[in-house]
Amino acid sequence: MSEVNGCRLPEELFYWPDKHVWARPEADGSVVVGMTDVAQSLAGKIIVVSIRALGKTLARGKSAGTVESGKWVGTVATPVAGKVVAINETLKGSPTIINQDPYGAGWLVRVEPSDWEADRQQLATGADGIAQYREKLEREGISCHQ
């Protein structure tokens, strides 16, 4: 786990730093999608989460769901195109799980990707992903406060 400006960033995830989202490929070929620690920190305490329906086909960059906090309402862009095969039902009753565990229990959707190889080429991972995220956070003066 790397830490950049107080923000936790696991090296094994695929990031889209401009959208503050992550993707994690699973053994079954599906891809789990969620908000980064940066996103949850910027949003503040999350009070409502609305996730796209099972079976819905998502285009890369389009909304996987909407998140509302006391100071922000916005969409969570999906970093991978495909069909929603699972949604995190727990978030409906406990949306602050995203604040507490954005990379674990706070995931949003699991997608059956239409072309993971193409989508992954547009994401950053490992040391390069952390470096790209560091550059964005420093350029925009963003930090997370645990």
pLDDT in tens, 48-77: 999 999 999 999 999 999 999 988 899 999
pTM of the model: 0.95
Structural domains present in the chain: 2-140 (2.40.50.100)
pLDDT score recorded for residue 88 = 97
The predicted structure's pLDDT at residue 71: 83
Per-residue buried b or exposed e for 61-82, using 16+ beta carbons within 10 Å of the residue's own CB: eebbbebebeeeeeebbbbbbb
d(CA 25, CA 123): 12
Q: Looking at the predicted structure, is the pLDDT value of residue 118 above 80?
A: yes
Residue 145, pLDDT > 80, answer: no
Residues 6+ apart with CB under 8 A from 132: 15, 17, 124
Determine the average pLDDT of the residues in 109-131. 96
| pLDDT above 60: residue 146 | no
Report the percent of the chain where pLDDT is more than 90.
97
Contact indicator for 144, 86 with CB cutoff of 8 Å: no
**Residue 123 and residue 15 in contact, taking contact as beta carbons nearer than 8 Å:** yes
Q: What average pLDDT does the chain have?
A: 95
33, pLDDT greater than 90: yes
Rounded Cα distance between 135 and 118, Å, is: 24
Confidence class for position 140, pLDDT limits 50, 70, 90: very high
Q: What is the pLDDT of residues 76-88, one digit of tens each?
A: 999 999 999 999 9
